[in-house]
Amino acid sequence: MEKRIWIYIREMFPLKVYLPYVTLLYFGLFFAVQALNQTSGLRITPVAITGWFTAFGILLLLRILDEFKDVDTDRTLFPKRSLPRGAVKYQDIKVLCGLIFIAICIINILNSQLLVPFGILLGYVWLSFNWFLLKKRISQNLILALVTHQPLALVLNLYVAATALFVISVQTLSLETVLAILAFFFPITAWETSRKIRAYGKETA
Q: How confident is the model at residue 205 (pLDDT cuts 50, 70, 90)?
A: low
**Does residue 70 or residue 9 have the better pLDDT?**
9
Nearest-angstrom CA–CA distance, 26 and 138:
29
pLDDT in tens, 80-92: 888 888 889 999 9
User: Can you tell me the mean pLDDT for 135-143?
Assistant: 85
Alpha-carbon span 23 to 5, nearest angstrom: 22
Nearby residues of 200 by Cβ (< 8 Å), 6 or more positions away: none
pLDDT band, residue 2 (cuts 50/70/90): confident
Contact predicate 184/143, CB 8 Å:
no
Answer whether 13's CB lies under 8 Å from 63's CB: yes
Per-residue pLDDT of 46-70, as tens digits, reads 999 999 999 999 999 999 998 888 7
Measure the CA–CA gap between 151 and 89, rounded to whole angstroms: 30
User: What gap in Å lies between CA 9 and CA 63, rounded to an integer?
Assistant: 10
**pLDDT score recorded for residue 136:** 86
**Which value, to the nearest 10 degrees, does the dihedral of the CA atoms of residues 52, 163, 99, 72 take?**
-80
- pLDDT tens digits along 93-136: 999 999 999 999 999 999 888 999 999 999 999 999 998 988 88
What is the pLDDT, as a whole number, of residue 81? 86
pLDDT at residue 29, rounded to an integer: 96
